[in-house]
Amino acid sequence: MGVLKITKHNFEKEVLHSDKPVLLDFWASWCGPCKMVAPIIDEVAEETKEVVKVGKINIDEEGELAEAFRIMSIPTLVVVKDGKVVESSVGVKPKKAILSLITEE
């Protein structure tokens, strides 16, 4: 499936009504640390596609979503399960730390 581009138009369907947990990456094109974490997010998406959905939210294009999640700095990773935020993490993290966000129950 790869990484989905999440917008306010598909957020409800892809995130709130997802049948599996969703890892959201809040990012922006001008953000250096976001560019550092992007390939890791892509790897995580590929490796966990059976159990987790991965989406990216560009905060410049989707200000309403960034505001709804109270995003203060990027990159911010948020895990949504059954329509509720269950985990979040700010800043660049190694792959192992990102995987632990989505595998801890």
Residue 37 in this model has a pLDDT that exceeds 80:
yes
pTM equals 0.95
Domains of the chain: total:
1
Residue 104: the pLDDT is 64
Q: Which helix (H) or strand (E) holds 36?
A: helix 32-47
31 is catalytic: yes
Q: Which domain CATH number covers 80?
A: 3.40.30.10
Positive or negative, the Cα torsion across 19, 42, 101, 31? negative
Cα 89 to Cα 101: distance, rounded to the nearest angstrom:
8
pLDDT tier at 103, thresholds 50, 70, 90: confident
Cα 45 to Cα 62: distance, rounded to the nearest angstrom:
21
Q: Which of 3, 34, 52, 102 is catalytic?
A: 34
Question: What range defines the domain where residue 99 resides?
Answer: 3-103
Q: Which helix (H) or strand (E) holds 98?
A: helix 95-103
Q: Which of 31, 52, 57, 102 is catalytic?
A: 31
pLDDT digits (tens, 9 = 90+) for 49-65: 999 999 999 999 999 99
Neighbours of 70 (CB within 10 A): 9
